[in-house]
Amino acid sequence: MTMPVREAELSGTTPLAAPSPAIRFENVSKIFAARGTGAAEVQALSGIDLAVAPGSILGVIGRSGAGKSTLIRLVNGLETPTSGRVVVDGTEVSALDERGLRDVRRRVGMIFQHFNLLSSRTAYDNVALPLEIAGTPKDEIRQRVEPLLDLVGLADKRHRYPAELSGGQKQRVGIARALATRPTVLLSDEATSALDPETTRSILELLSSINRELGLTILLITHEMSVIRGVAHEVAVIDGGRIVEHGDVFDVFTRPRHPTTRSFLGAETGRELPAYLQAHLRPEPVPGGAVALRILFRGPHATDPVISELSRALGLDLNILSGSVDEIGGRPFGTLVVSLPNDPVKLGQALTFLQARELDTEVIGYVA
């Protein structure tokens, strides 16, 4: 029996190699030809290098036109890269003929923003459709479809038509249909953007559950950071057809490097300042005023009583101007904006105190 990696390390044997990515983009570019006289060709993707680990959930976020939809359509062969390689479970998708693509598409399920259900078929029949197309016997279809309807919480809706279902229920049918052929990869194309917030949360919880229980690799695209935060393990930010930032969700959310990422994250992580505070901030010191300092709480000292310790240690009167405390990926994270007297010596001492506790700090302006 193969030992877990940790046991192998302890026993002195060679540890297992890391598994190959379930999805891999290797220097992928996509150019769409010009349409119409005088039109220019469109560079949708440029130099994409990205890997999705088996059993993980990777969220790709970007604005409209950033290249998200093109990226996801390369995985199941609906688009072909102009250059580079797209590899799914060891198979180069872009090198396949139509027969090979059909095989890959059975291993790659997809759920859509607008559900794409057939109005003339019941929930059961919509889920059964890909199996019928594949020529699966009726008994096998039933043995597959009924557990899937139960998995997505729609066992009692099996005979209902799409017009009789809510948006969330339609999407659950779509998820069950995507799972019908036992895929190893699930693609989600803005699957929650047509749903209300409460329904979105329930769908994200369902996707997380499917990921855990079935070990399914999920690649989802979205324009909402709340979706990434609710379900993804890693996030890739796409802008102008390029991946501008990629990493663990907690790390990207709490220490975004690229301006596009920061713009997406403003309200989501408490970085966006309240309007009343923005109106009173000044770029230069105000006579008799105070300096405004943003403190990001992450890491081992995220839950320590740092503000009270700072006040006592330096004899400072601190005023909390705004703040939020939350959890990202099961780890605590908070943002506070405080003001303190505009004394260069005291400010330097305060920054040293906070940085010694591994807290990110930033002077964001001055207030009267």
- Residue 267 confidence (pLDDT): 60
- Residue 300 confidence (pLDDT): 72
Helices 167-179 + 123-133 axis angle, to 10 = 20
- Residue 2 confidence (pLDDT): 40
For 275-367, CATH gives 3.30.70.260
- Residue 171 confidence (pLDDT): 95
Query: Within the chain, which residues score under 50 in pLDDT?
Result: 1-16
- Residue 245 confidence (pLDDT): 96
Identify the CATH homologous superfamily for domain 16-265: P-loop containing nucleotide triphosphate hydrolases (3.40.50.300)
- Residue 11 confidence (pLDDT): 42
* Domain boundaries defined on the chain: 16-265, 275-367
Within 10 Å of residue 195's Cβ, how many Cβ atoms? 19
- For the range 130-139, what are the long-range contacts, defined as Cβ-Cβ under 8 Å and sequence gap of 24 or more? 130/106, 130/177, 130/180, 130/181, 131/180, 131/181, 134/106, 134/181
Distances (CA, A) of 48 to 192, 291, 357: 25, 42, 37
Predicted confidence (pLDDT) per residue in 32-61, tens digit: 987 777 678 889 999 999 999 999 999 999
- Residue 57 confidence (pLDDT): 96
